[in-house]
Amino acid sequence: MHEIHFLAFRRCINFCTLAKNYNFTPMDINFNKNEDHNKLLVSDLKKRLVQVKLGGGTKRIEKLHAQNKLTARERINYLLDPKTKSIEIGAFAGDGMYEEHGGCPSGGVVVKIGYVKGKQCIVVANDATVKAGAWFPITGKKNLRAQEIAIENRLPIIYLVDSAGVYLPMQDEIFPDKEHFGRIFRNNAIMSSMGITQIAAVMGSCVAGGAYLPIMSDEALIVDKTGSIFLAGSYLVKAAIGETIDNETLGGATTHCEISGVTDYKAKDDKDALDKIRNIVDKIGDFDKAGFSRIDAKKPSENPEDIYGILPKSRADQYDMYEIIKRLVDDSEFEEYKAGYGQTIITAYARIDGWAVGIVANQRKLVKTKKGEMQFGGVIYNDSADKATRFIANCNQKKIPLVFLQDVTGFMVGSKSEHGGIIKDGAKMVNAVSNSVVPKFTIVIGNSYGAGNYAMCGKAYDPRLIAAWPSAELAVMSGNSAAKVLLQIETASLKKKGETITKEKEEELYNKIKERYDNQVSPYYAASRIWTDGVIDPLDTRTWISMGIEAANHAPIEKKFNLGVIQV
């Protein structure tokens, strides 16, 4: 009982503090409703992450420990510097997929950006508790995403290998295409030519084509008795050429460190291998920097936890994006560009964790123009697209990284917008986003619909990192709108067949269609397919952007910004 009174009192204090800054009236209960809703979403996120981190389950983890091996996550935690920040890429990869094959939590591979001996690195570790670390199609996609991050940011990449190779029942979806398994080795070669450090430790199985990954790295380690590398295991060797040999003699640590010379270091166990990697990374020289501006960081002066109460429960409701920005940027300060023009997009210079950034954000409240016209929040109009294009060009000229805060329903439609050239202005904005040479980072806060997703730097436009809040929705249109459109098509089809559609039948069809579509707009649906790099707590946004810019600072900008041919 005392706890309930304390929580109510604490909420009252928080609410009154926010009301003073945000012009709420004490009788307004929307903040509390929003807070409850968004905190429940974050609680659900944390529960999902706990489940994901179990990988193939506790029994398989125990089996791994019995073999004197650490799990993928334990290996990464031991490797990374203690008490330092890290971010996980693709934690929800494979979520809800491959259920007929037993599932594939985290895509069977764990990827983190963190610090090893003070140097920022990306670490890729096969999870042997998930089908013995076998590669599903999503595993390949996630590994390629990790390599893409390493290439774009010139980040050292460390592979902790423990995999049974391609998951044979799905080999046709991972083996021969351009973005399949073989692309991994192509990227190994490309990164080597670019001077990007690659270190691989074979800490379990490493068979068939997968054997090329560690050996195409700059340096390779192998753990004695548990690590093995061969193109074909002992059973296949016996079947193919009749030779009888055990796996350890065929491709164990002693064989490859003392006879074949395939590997460079032999480790006595997992921790010894990880210690050796830390010692190798410790000797890597400094990198050429892109030169992005950074000063001493300041925390937002407005409480970031207020975001939970500001962000509305319904994705259709309006709210003021300025209040979100104040809780993301240093000292809650920003310099707005063209404040009175194109007000459905906010463009502003600010700092996040000390790094200079250019923010492009969708304003989600109804705004009134100087001409007395009303513009809907979350919609991109001609003037807002024009403003964003100019701002993006300015940030490229000044070498300022871009941060896109998405809550967009799309571009304005109707005769007035069409006659005003909305397609042309939208194309200019898409052109600027596409040709931007400074690093881009995208946070999907709420809606991310249709062409708005593209103009606001969706996954197709190469953001260095893209993350979604639990409140996000990614789709061509909202579940409600899509269900209405699809219902019309469905009912028309049934009527052609001579079926009578009652009001009850129509409602049943609508609910069925909406339920299916709502599942697809979920941020977890997008994250499972790596359309985003993760679903994150809003309070982790500053860390993602800061570490992302730090990574991008490893890679000097070599191209010049050029919009190309555009319709003026």
Domain identity same for 163 and 278:
yes
Span of 79-88, 99-108, 231-240, 541-550 with lowest mean pLDDT: 231-240
Q: Are residues 254 and 335 in the same domain?
A: no
| The predicted structure's pLDDT at residue 8 | 40
Residue 143 lies inside a defined structural domain of this protein: yes
pLDDT band at 335 (very low <50, low <70, confident <90, very high): very high
How far is Cα 425 from Cα 436, in angstroms, rounded to an integer? 17
- Containing structural domain, residue 154: 44-282
pLDDT at 368 over 50: yes
**Residue-level pLDDT at 501:** 77
- What is the C-alpha to C-alpha distance for residues 12 and 80, in angstroms, rounded to an integer? 41
Averaged pLDDT, 239-245: 90
Residue pLDDT, tens place only, 254-283: 999 999 999 999 999 999 999 999 999 999
The CA distance from 453 to 410, in Å, is 8
Rounded mean pLDDT of 478-507? 79
Q: Is residue 6 part of a domain?
A: no
* Structure confidence at residue 514 (pLDDT): 81
Query: Domain tally for the chain?
Result: 3
Name the least confident of 14-23, 96-105, 446-455, 555-564: 14-23
DSSP assignment string, 125-145: EE-TTTGGG-B-HHHHHHHHH
Interstrand relation of 410-411 and 402-408 (parallel, antiparallel or unpaired): unpaired
Closest CA to 466 of 434, 433, 444: 444
Distance CA 36, CA 24 (A): 17
Q: Do 236 and 342 belong together in one domain?
A: no
pLDDT value at residue 567: 64
Mean pLDDT of 21-50: 84
Q: Are 152 and 145 in contact (CB under 8 A)?
A: no
Tens digit of each residue's pLDDT (9 = 90 or more) over 374-417: 898 999 999 999 999 999 999 999 999 999 999 999 999 888 88
Is 11 within a domain?
no
234: domain CATH number?
Answer: 3.90.226.10
Question: Do 149 and 89 touch, CB atoms closer than 8 A?
Answer: yes
Instruction: Look at residue 311 and tell me if it is in a domain.
Output: yes
Looking at 267, 282, 297, the residue that finishes a domain is 282
Express each pLDDT in 155-187 by its tens digit: 999 999 999 888 889 988 988 888 898 999 999
- Same domain? For 128 and 222 the reply is yes
Residues 399 and 511 both lie in one domain: no
When the pLDDT of each residue in the chain is averaged and rounded to a whole number, the result is 91
- Is pLDDT larger for residue 224 or for residue 4? 224
Instruction: Examine residue 17 and state whether it is found in any structural domain, yes or no.
Output: no
Q: Where are the alpha helices (DSSP H) in 67-181?
A: 72-79, 137-153
In the 8-state DSSP scheme, what is residue 294? B
pLDDT for the residue 27: 42
* Distance from C-alpha of 327 to C-alpha of 245, rounded to nearest angstrom: 63
Q: Tell me what percent of the residues of the chain surpass a pLDDT of 70.
A: 95
Co-location of 91 and 152 in the same domain: yes
Residues 153 and 192 in one domain: yes
